[in-house]
A = this chain, B = another copy of it.
Amino acid sequence: MDHGASRTSGTTAGTGGLATAPAGLRERKKERTREALIDAALELFWRKGYDATTIDEIVAAVDVSRRTFFRYFAGKEEVALARSNEVERSLVGALAERPSAEPPVVALRQATRAIMAALEGDPKRGSSEAYVRTRRLIEANPTLMAATLRHAMETERLMAAEIARRQGVDPHTDLRPALTVSCFNAVVRVAMDEWTERGAMHTSELAAAIDEAWRAMAGLIESGWLGSGWASDED
């Protein structure tokens, strides 16, 4: 299953940002400035904390003006989450590449596995270690956590649209695509919390935590926690 995974990363994720000749010099320069700003920002955040780092310090490290920073990012939040948001958004692409014969939840799980495998193998930023450190940063900052959740919500919409497309249903009248994605992410989030509590050491442990959460999910259905006839009114 790993083979398909690394192939996936190349076409959909672009987590490496391998500078595959992005047209003219101007574009390349912009890309470099953007990457430099993210690198400098993350380095400072990790070293002296998110709140303690000012934008002036970030731009000083890259030697661009404060004004320029705001032309690339809306604020500190955005530069801090740029990488992890990229990873998250790549899930939509990975989902689209799953064979349409797979049931929605299976496709979601496989897409997640593919992205995490790609993360693992990528030697550049977006790699496993960078992801773990960024995760800790988010976990420690209410503002970043809030922004992360909001971005996840937006990504959910895209994923729900994709599920609706591959299942051939109308997402405006059928709630199932939205429910599937929303609950799927709920499970992943629980697994992530568990992973964080255990120290968030490596992404391989995150994969294990997600699997464990899904097993517990099965147990939940069988253990009667849902109640009988829970879909209709039971009062």
CB distance from A75 to the nearest CB of B (A): 11
**Interface status of A194 (Cβ within 8 A of chain B):** yes
- Complex CA gap A142/B220 in Å reads 34
* Docked CA distance A230–B184 (Å): 12
Chain B residues in 8 Å Cβ range of A233: 211
Closest-CB distance, A196 to chain B (whole angstroms): 12
A55 in the interface (beta carbon within 8 A): no
- Answer whether residue A205 sits at the interface, using C-beta atoms and an 8 A cutoff: no
- Contacting chain B: which of A28-36, A42-50, A119-127, A171-179? A171-179
Q: How many residues of A are counted as interface, with CB atoms below 8 angstroms from the partner's CB atoms?
A: 52
Chain A 181-220 interface mask (CB, 8 Å, partner B; 1/0): 0110111011001100000000000000001111111111
**Is A145 positioned at the interface, with any CB of B under 8 Å from its CB?**
yes
Closest 4 interchain pairs by CB? A218-B231, A103-B227, A146-B146, A146-B150
A19 at the interface (CB under 8 A from B): no
User: CB within 8 Å of B: which residues of A?
Assistant: 1, 102-106, 109-110, 142, 145-147, 149-150, 153, 167, 174-176, 178-180, 182-183, 185-187, 189-190, 193-194, 211-220, 223-227, 230-235
Q: Quick check: A235 and B183 within 8 Å, CB to CB?
A: no
Residue pair B193, A187 in contact (C-beta under 8 Å): no
A183–B216 Cα gap in the complex (Å)? Answer: 13
Report the nearest B residue to A160, measured CB to CB: B190
Cβ contact within 8 Å between A106 and B216: no
Q: In the complex, which residues of chain B have a beta carbon less than 8 angstroms from the beta carbon of A145?
A: 150, 153
Q: Which of B102, B146, B167, B226 contacts A103 (CB 8 A)?
A: B226
